[in-house]
Homo-oligomer: A and B are copies of this chain.
Amino acid sequence: MAMQIYIGVDLGGTSVKTGICDEEGHLLTSSEGPTEADLGTERVVANIVAYVRKLVQESQYDWDQVAGIGAGVPGFMDKAEGFIHFSPNLPLSNVPLRRLLEEQWGKPVMLENDANVAALGEAWSGAAKGVPISVLYTLGTGVGGGIVIDGRVLSGATGMAGELGHMTIVPDLEAIQCGCGQTGCLETVSSATGIIRMANDAVARGDKTMLADLKAITAKDVFDAARANDETALRIVQRAAYYLAKSMAMVSLVVNPNRFVVGGGVSKAGDLLLDPVRDAFRKLAPERAQEGVDIVAARLGNDAGMIGAAGLCLNR
C-alpha cells in the first residue's frame, strides 16, 4: 500500500495555509491562499476545499493516500460535533464546518482551536518531539496555550483547556483589565500588546528610555532597546518574563509538564526573554516540579499550526 499522508489546514483571518505531512509530522509540501473572509461563509469554505484539492493535485501524492484532514480554527467550537460556535475573525460562527468539509472531500475531518494545534505540531515534530507532557505558550497579539499529553492535545470539557493567557496571574494592585473582561490576565503583560502597552506607559510618564524617540513602539523595539541595556526596556522584559514564569509555576502544579515551549512573535526575542523566564521559574515553582523540566523556544514557527492540524487525524 502507498504511504498515507495527513493534511493540515491552518485557517487564519487573512490566509489559509495547507500542508501535507507524513506520519512522522514532517511537512512534505505546503501552500497558502487568501481566506477572503469578507466574501462570507460559503466562499471561505469553498476556498478551503479548493486549496486542499489543489495542494494534493500539484503534489506527487494521490487523493487516495489522504488518511485524514485536520483544521486549526481560531474560535470556540464543539469538536465532537465539528461545529464552530464562534470565530472572532471569520464568518464561521454557528457553522457545521466539519460536515461541510467532509461532504466535499469524502475524508475524515478533525477540528481544533488554533493554539491547540500549534502545541500538537511542536509536540509531534518540533521543540517537544518525544516529550510525554508539553505545554506551549504562544506569545503574539494575545497569549494562547496548548497542552499535549502522550501525543494528544487536551481540549477540556468545553474547549477551554490550555487557555493560559487568561489565567489570573498579575496581583490585584498591579492588574489592568483584559479584553476578556477579567483583570490580571497573563495576556495583559506577556503578549506583544502587553509589552507595547508597558512601553507606552513608561514613555507617557517620562521614564528615561530610548523608546521615547520612536513614533510607534513595537515589541521588537522593546527587545532591541533591552539588548542595548536600556533600563526601562529591561524592566519591561523582566516583568513580561516574570509573569509568564509565574503562570508556568502554576501549570506545573496542575499538569507538571516535562517541557514548556514558548512560541509566537514575541518568542523571537530568544534567550533575552527566556533566560529571565527560566530564572523566575526556578524561584517560583516547587523544587520537585522543576526537576528535569526545561523551557525552550518553539521550532516550527508559522508551520506549527498546519503540522499540528495534520496531526489531529493521526490521533483520531
Residues of B within 8 A of A109 (CB): none
Residues of B within 8 A of A156 (CB): 133, 252, 255-257, 289
Residues of B within 8 A of A286 (CB): 160, 163, 166, 180, 182
Residues of B within 8 A of A289 (CB): 156, 158, 160, 163
**Which among A166, A172, A249, A292 has the greatest number of chain B C-beta atoms within 10 A?**
A166
* Contact, CB under 8 Å: A292 / B158: yes
A64 at the binding interface (Cβ < 8 Å): no
| Given A149-B149, A254-B255, A255-B254, A133:B157 Cβ within 8 A | yes
| Given A149-B149, A154-B149, A249-B168, A256:B160 Cβ within 8 A | yes
**Shortest beta-carbon distance from A179 to chain B in Å:** 12
Chain A: interface residue total (CB-CB under 8 A): 42
Query: Mask for A83-122, Cβ within 8 A of B = 1, else 0?
Result: 0000000000000000000000000000000000000000
* Contact, CB under 8 Å: A161 / B254: yes
Residues of B within 8 A of A270 (CB): none
Residues of B within 8 A of A161 (CB): 253-256
Q: Which residue of B lies closest to A249 (CB)?
A: B168
Query: Mask for A288-305, Cβ within 8 A of B = 1, else 0?
Result: 110111000000000000
Q: Known contacts A154-B256, A159-B256, A160-B288; can you find 7 more A-B pairs with CB under 8 A?
A: A133-B156, A149-B154, A157-B256, A158-B292, A160-B253, A161-B256, A180-B286
